C-alpha cells in the first residue's frame, strides 16, 4: 500500500516540497511513478539499494 501512504503524506504538504519515499513492495516501482503522473506530482529521482526502492517526489 505504498501509494496510499504516499498520497496521505503528500496531502499534508505544500507545493514544491519533496517527499522521500522508501518502499520494499516491488509493485511500487511502477505504481508510484504512475500515481505521480496521474496526480500531477513529479518524480525527481528514483533509486534502489538492495530490496529498498527510493523515490523523491515533488508536490505539485
What are the tens digits of pLDDT across the range 9-20? 999 999 999 999
User: Phi first, then psi: what are they for 38, rounded to 5°?
Assistant: -70, -25
Backbone angles phi, psi at 26, to 5 degrees: -60, -25
Q: Whole-prediction pTM value?
A: 0.93
By the 8 A CB rule, do 53 and 22 touch? yes
| CATH number listed for the domain at residues 2-58 | 3.30.110.40
In this predicted structure, the answer to whether residue 54 has a pLDDT above a threshold of 90 is: yes
Confidence band (pLDDT; 50, 70, 90) for 27? very high
CA 22 vs. chain centroid, Å, equals 8
What are the residues facing 8 on neighbouring strands? none
Q: What percent of the chain has pLDDT over 90?
A: 98
Q: Which three cell numbers stand for residue 17?
A: 516540497
Give the integer Cα–Cα distance in Å for 38 and 5. 16
- What residue spans define the domains of the chain? 2-58
Amino acid at each position: 500500500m505504498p501509494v496510499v501512504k504516499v498520497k496521505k503524506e503528500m496531502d499534508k504538504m505544500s507545493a514544491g516540497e519533496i517527499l522521500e519515499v522508501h518502499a520494499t513492495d516491488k509493485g511500487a516501482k511502477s505504481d508510484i511513478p504512475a500515481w505521480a503522473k496521474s496526480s500531477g506530482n513529479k518524480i525527481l529521482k528514483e533509486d534502489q539499494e538492495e530490496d529498498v526502492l527510493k523515490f523523491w517526489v515533488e508536490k505539485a
